[in-house]
Structure 1
Amino acid sequence: MENPPTGPEQLATRTAEIMRDGDRASRAAGVDVVAVTPGRATATMTVRPEQVNGHGVCHGGYLFLFADTAMAYASNSHGVSALASGADIAFLRPAREGDVLTAEAVERAASGRSGLYDVTVRAADGTVVAEFRGRTRQVPGLSPVTARP
């Protein structure tokens, strides 16, 4: 049996590894979570042809999924399962096919079982594409670290 994580950084890394294994939705959308530390996560995604809407820009649903994925990894980084309880997104600039996007999620507040997260989605040139604010609720007993071997 594998040794349990011993510190916050190791716990965040191990939780992300376990989540990644089961996160078929994000994987199917081409989201790659590239960094996770306690209360933070960074993900990348290249806008694919099937993600572009009739206006020739990335569909807002994909941008929402992208930002929500970054929040999910940041909010679960403490080793206790957390689910989104609500979120809002502001679409500020269009993203187009081939654009490489980065989503950076940051924990703004945690109180009891509730969390508040901000996610900024940027294009490769640093232009802010969207701002996302999400709320989470921890679900004790369903820890990603203990839920699967």
Structure 2
Amino acid sequence: MEYGDRVKSNTTDKAGQAAYAGDQSKGAVEVAERCIAKMRSNDRVSDGLGIAIESSGPGRIVLSMTVAEAMLNAYDICHGGYIFTLADTAFAYAASARNNVAVGLNCHIDYVRPAKQGDRLYAHSEVTYAGKTTGVTLVRVIDQEGRQIAELHGRYYNLGQALLDENETGGGGRGEPS
């Protein structure tokens, strides 16, 4: 099973809350692409670090970054702050890819193994729960060999604002087909 394949349909947890499965309709995918493009157009941090978009969709994204010499700490391994920045960026993009302005409430990251200069890191992020005001996102950072580098768990707050206006969504609002 691939990393992003775990949540396929709406389910109910023990508390009776609907778990997020994600709308993968054509309209929702197009809105997600527009949301991510809009966020990326003003993302100076990602530009500066060479973070690239590998794939995306409603409530999910894969970003990548190559570990440069300037990212190394005193031990000649990638400073955890750069790994966190990659994971946090993926968290933000996935949380807002359903046309909602979402901001982080908290994050927890576990570093599993070090990354070295020249490694290509991939941050696979998916929303695992999307409520009306809050959501949960899981980000798994792996290297070019598929080895896990870190895992970030984040909770976000939905500000109740659309990221895109009606002209930018094609009239489809928050991911509904137009």
1:88 aligned onto 2:95: no
Separation in 2, partners of 1:147, 1:30: 31
Task: Give the number of the structure whose residues are more often strand, by fraction.
Answer: 1
Say what the alpha-carbon RMSD is for the aligned residues.
Answer: 1.6
After TM superposition, list the pairs within 5 Å mapping 1:1-149 onto structure 2.
7-141=27-161, 143-146=162-165
Q: Secondary structure at the match of 1:57?
A: coil
Runs (4 or more) in structure 1 with deviation over 6 Å come to none
Separation in 1, partners of 2:166, 2:65: 28
**1:89-120 deviation digits (Å, cap 9, x = unpaired):** 00000001100011100111111110101100
Gaps of 5+ in 1: 1-5
User: Displacement, 1:26?
Assistant: 1.7
- The alignment-based identity, stated in percent, is 33
Correspondence for 2:175:
none
Q: Contact between 1:81 and 1:138, CA under 8 Å: does it hold in 2?
A: yes
Give the paired residue count.
143
Larger deviation: 79-88 or 24-33? 24-33
Q: Name the TM-score, length of structure 1 as normaliser.
A: 0.91
Gaps of 5+ in 2: 1-25, 169-178
Q: Contact between 1:85 and 1:137, CA under 8 Å: does it hold in 2?
A: yes
Larger Rg: 2
